[in-house]
Structure 1
Amino acid sequence: MRTNTIYEVILESGYRDPSGNTYSLRHHWSFATEGPPVVASSAPGGGDGGVDPASYLTVDFSRSMDPTSLKAAVALSPTTSLDVKLDPSDSRRAIIAPSELLSPNTTYQFVINTAALDVDGNQLGRVQEVRFTTGPLHPLRDWIAFATDRTDGSAGGLWIVN
């Protein structure tokens, strides 16, 4: 069914049920389908300045989204590799993680095109664009670093906390 559409159903008199009973009443009803998914908000928001170059980007949608379609639908300019995932606790929120620090004091634009689908296969209603400007890099102070191992003994990762 098409999004954002009103459908009308009419059953004229004379129809039969599976048992063979004939009905003499006319039945009529209508229903509306929801509109396409939309971007409800983002962080950073459009026009934001002084954004930390180490920030992740988040986008909140009006509906639960399909994670596979989001990966192909999101781009950041100047071009930066991204990892796009849904928040494990809220499938309406996408977390966009640049693979490296964003450049300081630079204007970026992230775009989500209409290839983004909700879990029912409905396309995003329109291309969404958000422009923001990063601020300066913030040096780490009083930081703590520690390495972790996985339960199988392989290297887990390096954690740095400021």
Structure 2
Amino acid sequence: MVNIDGKQIKLQIWDTAGQESFRSITRSYYRGAAGALLVYDITSRRETFNHLTSWLEDARQHSSSNMVIMLIGNKSDLESRRDVKREEGEAFAREHGLIFMETSAKTACNVEEAFINTAKEIYRKIQQGLFDVHNEANGIKIGPQQCISTSVGTSTSQRNSSEIGSNSGCC
């Protein structure tokens, strides 16, 4: 549960592992998603960054056009082993209209912020009327006390994709 503008928001997290063997299952998660976190490893696993275009295409093809997507460069605690420059991540995010930040799952640096910032952007889109909160296919459900339930997915540094979707109650 997080508080955004005085509202209690329940985040439901789905971790899809970003592995090719789970790709068909991953696609089904996008259908009920309000957002996604695409995570790549900034260190020696550059292929996770190189595969972002494919994962982003999947997310956009199988989701609402209003889905919020955040790009996460993980393992920021391993600066000495960096293989993907921060500027590369920022450029990819800018080019594709994504929110960007770097995190460290090991030290928890910016991890909570990644989820909260994604939820804030979803909430902003709800306020703008871009999400129909009465259509659960958008990944959002109004709980019994009129709070918003939104699911949030994450993936570890060796994973590329996660979703934000909703199919549970709130409060």
- Greater Rg by CA: 1
Instruction: Please give the range of the TM-score, normalised by the shorter of the 2 chains.
Output: under 0.3
Q: Counting strand residues as a fraction of each chain, which structure ranks higher? A: 1
| TM-score, length of structure 2 as denominator length | 0.25
Q: Counting helix residues as a fraction of each chain, which structure ranks higher? A: 2
| TM-score, length of structure 1 as denominator length | 0.26
> Larger relative CO (CA 8 A, sep 6+): 1 or 2?
2
